[in-house]
Amino acid sequence: MDKLRESGVEVAKKPTDRFAKPTSAGYRDVKLNVRYPNGHIGELQIHVKPILKAKEQAHKDYEVVRSIEAKAAKEKRDTLTEEEQVTIDEANVRMKKAYEGAWAMATGKQQSKAASVQLFGAKNKTFFELNGNPVEVERMKFPVMYVNGKQKVYRDFFRLLHDGNEIDEKKFNKMVADQMV
């Protein structure tokens, strides 16, 4: 941080430390929004090498999930077929295993057994917070994000896993209620 400040870069908002609190997919980094001397704002990610290598593999899974999302959007569907759900579940499991394995390699610790759990599908409903908005994920459906009290289909599973934080149903309900005020 001192080197960044010495170069004229300032932090534009509080850093996101996903080493301390990884995403649901197990992805870890520190993300900084920085203001450069010319006034532009950029994003700076701080990684460990094994996570970067895992990110290369996870990107392939991202492309698989994105193609499913794009097909459903083109067909104006809010639901998934069983085959699409299974494909997404499998991609999520591979990403979780890749990131957990990379973290284990980086820290010298054993990989957690949680890496084998399906992220969207182990439970009927899962709740997330993404960019301050509550998101509900139900098996065989695209996530629903609540923005300013309105429901909006959210078609980016990968982004939800990487940038969202899983929350409990009580916090989800409170966030939805707070938007209605």
Give per-residue pLDDT as tens, 72-119. Answer: 999 999 899 999 989 988 888 888 889 988 998 888 876 554 433 445
Judge contact between 168 and 136, C-beta under 8 A.
no
Specify the pLDDT at position 181. 75
Report the C-alpha gap between 5 and 106 in whole angstroms.
27
Specify the pLDDT at position 115. 39
Answer with the residue of higher pLDDT: 37 or 122: 37
Judge contact between 169 and 127, C-beta under 8 A.
yes
For residue 164, which amino acid is it?
G
Pairing type for strands 16-17 and 41-46 reads unpaired
Domain ranges within the chain, ordered by starting residue: 2-47, 50-180
**Res 7 pLDDT > 60:** yes
Give per-residue pLDDT as tens, 51-78. Answer: 999 988 888 998 998 899 999 999 999 8
Residue 123 pLDDT level (bands cut at 50, 70, 90):
low
Pairing type for strands 125-130 and 41-46 reads unpaired
Judge contact between 155 and 79, C-beta under 8 A.
no
Specify the pLDDT at position 117. 41
Q: Mean of the per-residue pLDDT values for the chain?
A: 85
Specify the pLDDT at position 159. 78
